[in-house]
Amino acid sequence: MSATDFAGERSLRVPIVDDGDELRFCSTCAFGAVCLADGYDKAALKDLHCLVEHVGPFRNGEYVFRSRDRFDAIYAVRGGAVKTCLVDEEGREQVLGFHLPGEMIGLNAIHPAHYPCDAIALDSTWLCRFSFPALAMLAARMPAVQQHLFRLLSADIGKASMLAGDTSASERVSAFLVNIAGRFANRGFSPTRLRLSMSRGDLGNYLRLAPETISRVLRKLQDEGFIRVAERDIELLKPVELRRLARCILHE
Amino acid sequence: MSATDFAGERSLRVPIVDDGDELRFCSTCAFGAVCLADGYDKAALKDLHCLVEHVGPFRNGEYVFRSRDRFDAIYAVRGGAVKTCLVDEEGREQVLGFHLPGEMIGLNAIHPAHYPCDAIALDSTWLCRFSFPALAMLAARMPAVQQHLFRLLSADIGKASMLAGDTSASERVSAFLVNIAGRFANRGFSPTRLRLSMSRGDLGNYLRLAPETISRVLRKLQDEGFIRVAERDIELLKPVELRRLARCILHE
DNA sequence: CGGCGGCTTGAAGGACGTCAAGATTAGTGG
DNA sequence: CCACTAATCTTGACGTCCTTCAAGCCGCCG
């Protein structure tokens, strides 16, 4: 395939959102609206700020945390992308998920008290680090923070629905593209143009498909006019049709 | 296959645990150890008790809650078994999970504020119902309860790992059997003998395999001497070998 | 420029699904 | 207790979608 790049592609690289300031959280921190909406005062806001630490950049392939590390913090992706994965005793990797700006990682480590998976940067990646003991203490004083944490945790249950059902390769790839595009759109990025931060291998691993199958499906979707593929840049040409292809997986 | 029943099979039917009393929770309620371990007084215990309601029995096929019902409570299975599932617009069911005594359902409803799936009894089923608003209020006063809720929620993330990886039908079925047996064992039931409360259809649906494949795999595992199958009663004859077969999925 | 990893494309093979028929069980009412 | 029906389960034959294997291409970075 000839490498026809998109015009303005540069804006797709390493998406990152605003930095916030002393009295406003960066929107990725997932706690931005909590305090102000509930009328907490500046002291409370400051408490919340004190337990946030901006970390990064992590480079492609660097570990944010490793399986079996002791759990002490959850993270929000601020810019870049992270994959979470397991490695079995034979060294085979299993990708559990991808995490884009505005999304949390580490929530599944609270219970076992150790991270149950690796978290690896896929791009130049920045994160917000929340000390969990401090956050839990604050939550006990501020019901809105507690509620927010409950919701964050609840939202993460059943997120593996991408692999659900008796679905074909095209359905799964379509669902993935629609899902990713939607998540980018939620954070203010283009709803139809996106840059995949993961390799075909990682993507196939996540969707339980061979990398070759990913290639073939992307080509087929392009031949059918649903998408445009240029390396890792994807444009959704017919989002509605794609969504219809994927409706069994996305549950409308 | 000739129907060779197990001796003492009757004890496998409708597992149920103790009832608890005014000052002790039934062990299934998942809050049993919280208060006493942290030295809360009887008043606190009573608060916790007041928001628990024993409900049931539900008969095979009855709904505990339905998709899109407004969320107001989480449940612990006290006896019997529950499946959670989605139904798409064409009426096809998709089984998300099975819930045995001692396990919670409804945690994934906190965020959307509506139950995102159906919960259907597979047996004569009793549950403990926890009003969530009341529970959250109590959690704000009792850090141990809050912590316990965080852990319960966290533990539910990534429970769909049964479908993970690039695994054969035998591996998935083995993993399922080992997993179920372990969950029963955790609650004091036999670690090697169990009664499946779900049909081959539900099981296949959950594992993304045709019911016929489930049959064939169970027969193969029996022919190889790993298990003994009599209808829905299963005996694990070589738990170690089964676990080895399933190690890719169970992550040791 | 040269090497390497990631991506694409083709051909062949296998594991599971589908379809169909028969067997066994559970449930119901007489 | 038995008869009858419906549902579930089993077993076999065949087809299909995806994987595997192999080769070549492209882009990136030293």
At A2, the pLDDT band (50, 70, 90 cuts) reads: very low
- Per-residue pLDDT for B81 more than 70? yes
- Per-residue pLDDT for A207 more than 90? yes
Nearest of A154, A156, A111 to residue B108 by alpha carbon: A154
Q: Specify the pLDDT at position B116.
A: 95
Please check whether strand D approaches the CB of A231 to within 7 Å. yes
Greatest Cα-to-Cα distance within chain A, rounded to the nearest angstrom: 58
Q: Specify the pLDDT at position A156.
A: 93
Q: Specify the pLDDT at position B213.
A: 97
* CB pair distance less than 8 Å for A143 and B140: yes
Average pLDDT for B239-250? 89
Identify the residue with better confidence: A245 or B27.
Answer: A245
Among the partner residues B117, B139, B157, nearest to A156 by beta-carbon distance = B157
pLDDT tens-digit readout, B93-129: 999 999 999 899 999 999 999 999 999 999 899 999 9
Mean pLDDT is lowest, of A22-31, A235-244, B7-16, for: B7-16
Question: Which residues in chain A are classed under CATH 2.60.120.10?
Answer: 15-159
Mean pLDDT is lowest, of A103-107, A112-116, A118-122, B162-166, for: B162-166
% residues pLDDT > 70 (chain A): 82
Residues of B with CB under 8 A from a CB of A: 86, 88-89, 92, 94, 96, 107-112, 116-117, 136-137, 139-140, 143, 146-147, 149-160, 163-166, 208, 247-248, 251-252
- Per-residue pLDDT for A99 more than 70? yes
At A4, the pLDDT band (50, 70, 90 cuts) reads: very low
B128, β-bridge pairs: B54, B76
* CB pair distance less than 8 Å for B163 and A160: yes
Q: Specify the pLDDT at position B250.
A: 84
List all nucleotides in chain D with at least one atom under 7 A from a protein Cβ. Answer: 8-13, 17-22, 26-28
CATH topology for B163-250? Arc Repressor Mutant, subunit A (1.10.10)
- A126 Cα distance to chain centroid: 13
- Per-residue pLDDT for B39 more than 70? no
Average pLDDT for B15-33? 56
- Per-residue pLDDT for B194 more than 60? yes
Q: Specify the pLDDT at position B165.
A: 77
pLDDT tens-digit readout, B147-183: 999 999 999 997 877 777 788 999 999 999 999 999 9
* CB pair distance less than 8 Å for B158 and A160: yes
Q: Specify the pLDDT at position A165.
A: 77
d(C-alpha B176, C-alpha B219), whole Å: 15
**In this structure, are residues A195 and A231 in contact, taking their beta carbons and an 8 Å threshold?**
no
- B161 Cα distance to chain centroid: 14
Please check whether strand C approaches the CB of A212 to within 7 Å. yes
Q: Specify the pLDDT at position B131.
A: 93
Q: Which of residues 135-174 of B touch strand C (CB under 7 A)?
A: 168-170
Q: Specify the pLDDT at position B159.
A: 83
Task: Tell me which of 2.30.290.10, 3.30.499.10, 2.60.120.10, 1.10.760.10 is the CATH number of domain A15-159.
Answer: 2.60.120.10
Integer distance in angstroms from the first to the last C-alpha of chain A? 33
Q: Specify the pLDDT at position A8.
A: 37
Peptide bond just before A57 cis, omega within 30 deg: yes
- Per-residue pLDDT for A3 more than 50? no
Question: Which residues in chain A are classed under CATH 1.10.10.10?
Answer: 163-250
% residues pLDDT > 70 (chain B): 82
HSE value, Cβ hemisphere, 13 Å, CA-based, for B41: 1
> Mean of the per-residue pLDDT values for chain A?
84
Average pLDDT for B190-209? 94
Please check whether strand D approaches the CB of A221 to within 7 Å. no
Average pLDDT for B43-63? 82
